[in-house]
Amino acid sequence: MKAVGARLPRYDGLGHVTGRTAYVDDVRVAGMLWTKALRSPHHFAAVRSVDTRKAEELAGVHAAVTHADVPKNLYGHLEALGVPADEPLLADGEVRYKGQPIAAVAAEDEATALAALDLIEVEYEEREPFFDVRKAFDPDAPRIHPWGPVYPHFGPHDHRRIRKGDVAAAFDRADLVVQGVYRPTAIEHCPVEPQTGLAVPEVHGRLTIYSCTQAMYFSMGVVAAHLEWPLNKLKFVGGTVGGGFGGKVDTATETICALLAIKSQRPVKWRWTREEEFLASSTRAPWHMEIADAVTSDGWIIGRRMLTLHDAGAYTRFSSYGLTKHSFHHTGAYTIPNLDFNGYVVYTNRVPTTAMRGFGVTSISFATEMQMNRIAKVLDLDPWEVRLKNANRVGDTSANWVALSDPSTVPVVQAAAKRVGVELKPEFRLMTKDRRSGDLLPDHLVEQLVSTDGGES
């Protein structure tokens, strides 16, 4: 272990500064074709027909694919975890977000591929799109997903539930209730490398796929599932990803390249434009969070009621997983013993949302921190002290009863205060993350503590 503690240069640093690092777009294969996709211009529409014949006849075009060419068109990113499939690789009968791919062509060059798109005939019937998650439960809200307005497969429920302690009693006891609504909006990953994939047909019918995915084995499984191929027919070559941040787990190009490569028997590359990135690539979700905290006048948060509406966009992808993580963390870095959390994955006609840096948790971190400031302001207390008082400590349990063995809230808040030149009162400066006792263990926090006899992990 000679490397531990040593200052090592990045092993790929020389490649980066000399331009030698190879990304998918830099792989050179003879006879490669370029791909362009026809994308829905409408937020929500029925697709009555798709005809690619004229596009296929254009000189220089080697293949075109629609949903009819996909052995298993409908897929769910979490199928391996038991979540049913809801998303078509290529649109079949309807489009649910602007930018959704309907067909793709492979041609000798990008210009020809673009010209081919103009020759694809599609009949749309526009429908009224739905964008406001707050209206999901209105009786007249348009139904855009066959499963209904929200994802229905959280066990027997149509929402993720966290129940802990006795929230009604907490709200009865409270000196004050502090409420806030927090609505962070969508964020684009915007990696400098756009989504890029290259599929190369090999002898014996195998495919080599050069992929910018962050999750190679996962993407390999997605492609195999769509093609209904055994995994050993695929060879995935990953490597340096030009920025992913969570957005390159969606297997955005590989399957369509594979289908075009199979049909044309030529290597096929698809490199998204920056416009496609902004229009059609998945984003971090917009969130709508409503928090009501039962607080005492001396700054204890004794109960939290929370409603989260997570905007999944048109399809589920990983949203149920993201919301579940969010629910586990909905008290932030603080210990709140009485909880009633309901979170919904809401379908809208936005582009489907996905993971991005701290999937599901950045939203609640933001909301909780804003809420802590609000509580401090309403109670006329110091916001640092409110945080330190309610901070996670050893032996506390999280919202979903995970025993906390080494929570860092206290030292981090203290370090932050020091960094910005805030002088904490001695009582707060001397706090530690040790197991609660004395003044730091009021009655309402006793029940949530993990037991001392062998309860800690």
197 near other proteins, rule: CB under 8 A: no
Query: Nearer Cβ to other proteins, position 272 or 321?
Result: 272
Q: Which stretch binds other proteins (CB under 8 A): 178-186, 233-241, 292-300, 365-373?
A: 233-241
State the Cα–Cα distance between residues 287 and 123, nearest whole angstrom.
34
x/- letters, 261..300, toward other proteins (CB under 8 A) = ----------x-xxx-------------------------
Contacts of residue 90, Cβ cutoff 8 Å, sequence gap at least 6: 65, 66, 67, 69, 70, 73, 101, 102, 103, 104, 256
Among 25, 56, 158, 166, which residue sits at the site for other proteins (rule: CB under 8 A)?
A: 25
Pick between residue 109 and residue 423 the one whose CB is nearest to other proteins. 109
Cβ proximity to other proteins: between 14 and 231 the closer is: 14
| Residue 16 touching other proteins (CB under 8 A) | yes
Q: How far is the CB of 111 from other proteins (least distance, A)?
A: 4
Q: Cα(95)–Cα(85) distance, rounded to whole angstroms?
A: 16
Binding mask 106-125 for other proteins (x = CB under 8 A): --xxxxx-xx-x--------
Using CB under 8 A as the binding rule, whether residue 22 contacts other proteins is answered as yes
203 scored as a contact of other proteins (CB under 8 A): no
Q: Residue 303's closest CA among 169, 394, 404, 393?
A: 169
Q: Which residues contact 269 (CB under 8 A, 6 or more apart)?
A: 24, 25, 32, 33, 34, 35, 196, 197, 198, 257
Pick from 189, 226, 304, 350: which binds other proteins (CB under 8 A)?
189
Residue closer to other proteins (CB basis): 10 or 204: 10
In what side-by-side order are the strands of the sheet with 287-295? 160-164, 338-347, 301-313, 287-295, 176-182
372: closest CA among 389, 359, 357? 389
Q: Kindly give, in sequence order, each residue whose CB lies less than 8 Å from that of residue 73, ignoring residues fewer than 6 positions away.
A: 67, 88, 89, 90, 92, 226
Minimum CB–partner distance for residue 66 and other proteins (Å): 20
Residue 142 burial (CB count, 10 A): 13
User: How many residues touch other proteins (CB under 8 A)?
Assistant: 50
Q: Which stretches of the chain bind other proteins, using CB under 8 A?
A: 2-3, 6, 8-23, 25-26, 28, 57-60, 108-112, 114-115, 117, 189-194, 239-243, 245, 271, 273-275
